[in-house]
A and B are shown apart, each in its own frame.
Chain A
Amino acid sequence: MRSLLLLLALAWPAAAEVAPDRAAELEHMVTQDCGSCHGLTRKGGLGSPLTPEALAGAEAEGLATIILDGIPETAMPPWRPLLTEEEATWIARYLKQD
């Protein structure tokens, strides 16, 4: 079991920072709640596309900041009340690696 976890951690660095059950919740949140504006397939909607191609030029840290603090004067809200910094970084990497 431990070796499996180690293997997972090596294969997917982002997963090391949040517990697996929380990761499943975050994945669900990305699909459903982010999907409300960015599309279930993340090809965009009221919000911009979040496909790996669309995010290719963006750093995960910068994306995490946007997730946490939102973009003023737009419909992108700050998710800081609902997410930790580690979780936001996990989501940013998840989006880029997907």
Chain B
Amino acid sequence: MKRAFVMLALCASPLFTSPALADATGDLGLVIERATGSLLVIDRSDHAAVGRVEGLGDLSHASLTYSPDERFAYVFGRDGGLSKVDMLERTVVARTVQAGNSIGGAISDDGSLVAVSNYEPGGVKVFDAGTLGLVADIPAEGKTIGLVDVPGRRFAWTVWDTGEVFLGDFAGAEPQITALGNAGKNPFDAVITDDAHTYLVGLFGEKGVTAYDLWSDQPEPRKFLTDYGKTEEDMPVYKMPHLQGWAFTEGQYALPAVGHHELLWVDRASLEEVATTPVHGQPVFVIAQPASPYVWVNFATPLNDTVQVVDSRTHTVVATLNPGKAVLHMEFAPRGAEVWISSRDDNKVLIYDTRTREKVAEIAADAPSGIFFTARAHQPGL
């Protein structure tokens, strides 16, 4: 044994330190434990919790993104805390409370900048991904939502109070901020398509979704779905839908109908509504199962113990599952074989095989909400 070590030492290039026994991070992930301000480190292949990171503050409505090497997670807390977490050491290596109240963030395409979307004071702050030192501070006339990374070290965001949309270019010495006009009344969230072509802004204060063509030199707002559900009374919205992870499949967008128990299907090219699917409740997350025709949907309280699977070809519900109480989030294995589902009130993460749609394992977690696999590091918009 000792000889083997000596041989390894001789073979190793002096240019590289050799973390021979270190874990890889490619099948790790983090689960947000919202009540305790902690993160559960999970191993996707082993179906196991392998560690816990504590001291992250108020993690209600928290999200995170990963460094390009999948070594670090940047965690965006409700209390304005931005934390950098080491996936291998399972420690917080840097933390700044950068605002009073924040909602989410994004990492630039090159991994050099981390941007945070803030409610109070409203605006976007941009940080050095290495040190978390402040790089830029862009105030806004209200709460910022829907912050996404755009290729070329850029970010786009939207203001809830005013409906304004901005594109910020951080490639040069000074940030260049371009106003992209008005998306509409009270945009609640926004998302960028997987090809970074379209920035879609969901509206709460009026019917509709506004699309921006980010491949255009001068992106302009284009509103669609302006009259969905007009034949029925809107229901109270007990939880705002989330658009990150919006399903883009079969040449369509699968969108949550705000205030209705429906999914809306829109042709990606024409932006015309092609179908609606009646579902169990008001959709919160509508997420495409990778490499499949299916989208999975969870629902707002009080109908949040159910998950449905919808076929994007026929627009019909093909399965209804009851994973547990208060299902908050779903995360797919990158190639789609499994989906991990958080049940906040059962204090569990449930793992389903997507082919059989049977539960194959479960992991104890403390009031789990968002689940984030490290593979997100390589997907624009995540």
Contacts and interface: CB of A to CB of B under 8 A. Distances in A.
A88 to B, nearest CB: 14
Contacts of B143: 46
Contact of B101 (A36, A44, A82): A44
B101 A73 contact: no
Contact of B204 (A35, A75, A79): A75
Interface in B275-324: 301-302
A75 B103 contact: no
Interface stretch (B133-141, B172-180, B236-244): B236-244
A41 B120 CA distance: 15
Nearest to A73: B205
Interface residues of A, number: 22
Contact of A81 (B100, B103, B186, B236): B236
Contacts of A62: none
Q: Is the interface of B mostly helix, strand, loop or mixed?
A: loop
Contact of A44 (B35, B120, B236, B326): B120
Contacts of A82: 238, 302
Interface in A57-84: 70, 73, 75, 77-79, 81-82
B78 A75 contact: no
Interface residues of B, number: 30
B160 A45 contact: no
Kindly name the residue among B79, B188, B204, B238 whose own CB sees the greatest number of chain A CB atoms within 10 A: B238
Interface in A27-54: 28, 31-33, 35-37, 39-41, 43-46
Given A40-B35, A44-B101, A75-B237, A35 B120 contact: no
Contact of B237 (A35, A39, A45, A77): A77
A30 B188 CA distance: 21
Nearest to B344: A32
Contacts of B119: 44-46
15 contacts: A28-B345, A32-B326, A32-B345, A36-B61, A36-B240, A37-B240, A39-B58, A43-B100, A44-B120, A45-B60, A46-B103, A46-B188, A73-B205, A81-B236, A82-B238
Interface of B: 34-35, 58-61, 78-79, 100-101, 103, 119-120, 143, 160, 186, 188, 204-205, 236-240, 301-302, 326, 344-345, 367
Interface of A: 28, 31-33, 35-37, 39-41, 43-46, 70, 73, 75, 77-79, 81-82
Which are the 10 A-B pairs with shortest beta-carbon distances?
A40-B60, A77-B236, A35-B60, A33-B301, A78-B236, A77-B237, A41-B58, A40-B58, A36-B239, A39-B78
